[in-house]
Amino acid sequence: MISIMVLTLTSCTTALATINGYKISQEEIDNYLSSAKVQNPDLFKEENKQDLLKAEAQIIDYIIANKLIEKYAGENKISYTEKEFSDEYEKLQTTSFKTKEEFTKYLTDNSISEDLLKSQLRNQLLANKVYAKITEGISVTEAEVNKYYEENKSTLFNDPEQIKISHILVQYGDQDTTKKTKEAALEKINMVAQKLKDGETFENMANKYSEDANSNTVGGDIGYFSKGQLVTEFEDVAFTLETDKVSDVVETQYGFHLIKVTEKKESAIKTFDEVKDSIKEYLENALKSEKFNAFLLGLKDAAVIKYSKTIEEINNTTTTTASSEIQSTTGTDSTESQSSSTQEQLVTTSTK
């Protein structure tokens, strides 16, 4: 989807671009940008002028993409119902907010136009309909799915070794709400270690003495982990422990720990049956994305599009296209990671 929407403060009154005769004005761009001044004020500083210009070009390309979709849909009698719109708008409000009042307050606090939000949702619903029409009938065979599995099973479908860990944590200094000294924390963890040697259970000691609020009511259990997910000092010890053995005292940036591994899962390759559905979906989405991109580029090539001199210069230095902008509204996957404005995130959340 479009990168963060920000305004380049140009003084021109002429159209920044036209698409099949439709003029994209500065005023229309401003409607997309009201929330940016609240959420990203630094982007309006003079030193970020080039970034602002690029963002404005991206907004224009987004509008162009939606106009292309709108024209094609009209010519081919593709539409959504008002019930579909109202249902999606209701979902948008209730998915991320407890009440409609909370939703409205969020829009107000962030200078998000509800009219623009609704307009974006309508654009997305129409794009979804066109996407479904253009990509209908695309499928892959089980043989193709199996081929992908065989070629990638040792990498993509290989679950790494995992261990289930419990720990007892004693903190000190800034990490500790009571500001214990390091010496006092070490004395406490050594006391717990001695109790374990004397026969106390790890679970009881964790519930009684551990200062990890997330695990000191469940016997110290913090779940399963694979290598690379834990801080080095903790991980190096945990992955050398035998099941049900307790470590010596380990110090990390969080304090002192006693570690216990309660279960181990060896690395294993997922079976074909476990992943075939997700592979099929992935391959079909890739084919649909390819076809839809080509379709959108065709629409753009056939359209009469004119940019102002400034926007044309920016477009010559960026790779933004109508295809990349509108693709996000269809719910298709993209390999590019782009940030989006708050109102776009709200719309996307409701329809993917």
CA neighbor of 60 nearest in space, from 21, 28, 107, 93: 28
Query: Of 212, 237, 266, which residue sits at a domain end?
Result: 266
Contact call for residues 215 and 206 (beta carbons, < 8 A): yes
Q: Is residue 7 part of a domain?
A: no
Which tokens is 121 given? Answer: 């949702």
Question: pLDDT tens digits for 219-249?
Answer: 999 999 999 999 999 999 999 999 999 999 9
pLDDT band for position 48 (50/70/90)?
confident
Task: Judge whether residue 142 has pLDDT over 50.
Answer: yes
Domain boundary among 234, 266, 298: 266
316 and 245 inside one domain: no
- Cβ atoms of 111 and 34 within 8 Å: the answer is yes
Spatial neighbors of 246 by CB under 8 A, at least 6 apart, are 193, 196, 202, 258, 259, 260
Residue 316 has pLDDT above 80, yes or no: no
Question: Do 92 and 183 fall within a single domain?
Answer: no
* Total domains in the fold of the chain: 2
DSSP 286-336: HHHHHHHHHHHHHHHHHS-EEE-HHHHHHHTT----HHHHHHGGGT---SS
Asked if residue 11 is part of any domain, the answer here is no
- Is position 90 within any domain? yes
Whether 167 and 222 have beta carbons less than 8 Å apart is answered as yes
Separation CA 218–CA 225 (nearest Å): 17
Mean pLDDT, the chain, integer: 85
* Residues β-bridged to residue 223: 165
What is the tens place of the pLDDT at every residue in 181-198? 999 999 999 999 999 999
Percent of the chain with pLDDT over 70: 84
Residue type present at position 277: D
Which is more confidently placed, 253 or 322?
253
| CA–CA distances in Å: residue 299 to residues 13, 55, 70, 125, 293 | 28, 23, 11, 19, 10
CATH of residue 51's domain is: 1.10.4030
Confidence at residue 320, expressed as pLDDT on a 0 to 100 scale = 46
H/E stretch holding 96 = helix 82-96
Are residues 282 and 226 located together in one domain of the fold? no
Are 117 and 55 in the same domain?
A: yes
Query: Does one domain contain both 338 and 228?
Result: no
Q: Residue 37: which pLDDT band, with cuts at 50, 70 and 90?
A: confident
Whether residues 26 and 135 share a domain: the answer is yes
* Residues 6+ positions from 133 with CB-CB distance below 8 Å: 76, 78
Question: Is the pLDDT at 170 greater than 80, yes or no?
Answer: yes
Q: Is residue 216 part of a domain?
A: yes
- Euclidean distance between CA atoms 226 and 189, whole angstroms: 26
Q: Which domain range does residue 64 map to?
A: 17-140+273-351
Distances (CA, A) of 321 to 113, 179, 285: 25, 56, 20
Answer yes or no: is 152 within a domain.
no
The pLDDT score that the predictor gives to residue 14 is 61
Please give the pLDDT value at position 184: 96
Reported confidence tier of residue 339, pLDDT bands at 50, 70, 90: very low
Residue at which a domain ends, from 206, 238, 266:
266
What letter does residue 161 receive in the DSSP assignment? P
pLDDT at position 317 is 63
| Most confident listed range (6-10, 32-36, 198-202) | 198-202
| Res. 45 pLDDT band, cuts 50 70 90 | confident
Tell whether 93 and 114 lie within a shared domain: yes
How far is the CA of 68 from the CAs of 25, 115, 314, in angstroms? 17, 21, 21
Q: Which of the residue ranges 18-22, 73-77, 306-310 has the most confident prediction, judged by mean pLDDT?
A: 73-77
DSSP 242: P
Short-list 127, 22, 23, 128, CA closest to 70: 127
CB 250 within 8 A of CB 259: yes
Please determine, for residue 288, whether its predicted confidence score (pLDDT) is greater than 80: yes
Altogether, the residues listed in the chain come to a count of 352
CATH number at residue 261: 3.10.50.40
* 3-state class (DSSP) for residue 134: helix
167 pairs with which residues across the strands? 259
Cβ(189)–Cβ(250) below 8 Å = no
pLDDT at residue 38 in the model? 78
Q: Give kind and range of the element (H or E) at residue 250.
A: strand 250-252
For the cut 90, the answer to whether the pLDDT of residue 163 exceeds it is: yes
pTM: 0.66
Interatomic CA distance for residues 165 and 163, integer angstroms: 6
pLDDT score of 70 more than 80: yes
Residue 2 within a domain:
no
- Are both 277 and 262 inside the same structural domain? no
Q: Which amino acid is at 334?
A: S
Residue 276 has pLDDT above 50, yes or no: yes
**Residue holding tokens 């409609």?**
100
Tokens 């065709």 map to which residue? 298
